[in-house]
Amino acid sequence: MNTVDLTQQLDALTETVARKLREKGLTLSSAEACTGGLFAARLTDLAGSSRFFDRSIVTYSNQAKLDHLGVRPETLETYGAVSPETAREMAVGLARVSGSDVCISVTGIAGPNGGTEEKPVGTVFIAVVYEGRTHSFQAPTVNVDRSYNRNHSVLSMLEHLNQLLTTD
């Protein structure tokens, strides 16, 4: 997928997710690490987003994850910041502090450095708390460049939200 295709997909899916949130009367909050606020920026670029978007917390550092979302130190020590366990604790912590109907988190390695053999650049984990359940998954690993990787992570977040909001 090239950058133009990615941008077109992001635009279309952002509109779709926003429409579904408005139609269902749901509020959304996000906790972002590797995307650094790109998810929130994309949604709040839409006029009227205050009807469904509550807040975003950028918890780039481990300390921020501990302080603002209640991620447990043991989780970070055992599994690392880039793990499904951390993504889940980020989303659950956000649900606790925000009270939003839908809470999504993302953590990953945007690159170009920081990857390992176990977790290469482009590794991303996403979690969503919705209707009392926590859903988590690993996004497809993509490593083009930092900007593309971050935007692809946002696309994965939107795809997962769209799927959850369609199946309920």
What's the chain's average pLDDT? 96
Structure tokens at 28: 């959304």
Identify the pLDDT of residue 9: 94
Dihedral (CA of 55, 52, 6, 167) sign: positive
Q: Is residue 85 part of a domain?
A: yes
pLDDT tens for 13-31 read 999 999 999 999 999 999 9
Q: Is residue 16 part of a domain?
A: no
Nearest to 21 by CA among 121, 128, 122, 127: 128
Q: Is residue 120 part of a domain?
A: yes
- Specify the CATH number for the domain of residue 154: 3.90.950.20
Specify the pTM: 0.96
Q: Is residue 4 part of a domain?
A: no
Q: Is residue 69 part of a domain?
A: yes
**C-beta neighbour count of 56 within 10 angstroms:** 22
pLDDT tens for 136-168 read 999 999 999 999 999 999 999 999 999 999 975
Mean pLDDT, residues 78-92 = 98
For residue 47, what are the domain limits? 28-167
Number of domains in the chain: 1
Q: Is residue 130 part of a domain?
A: yes
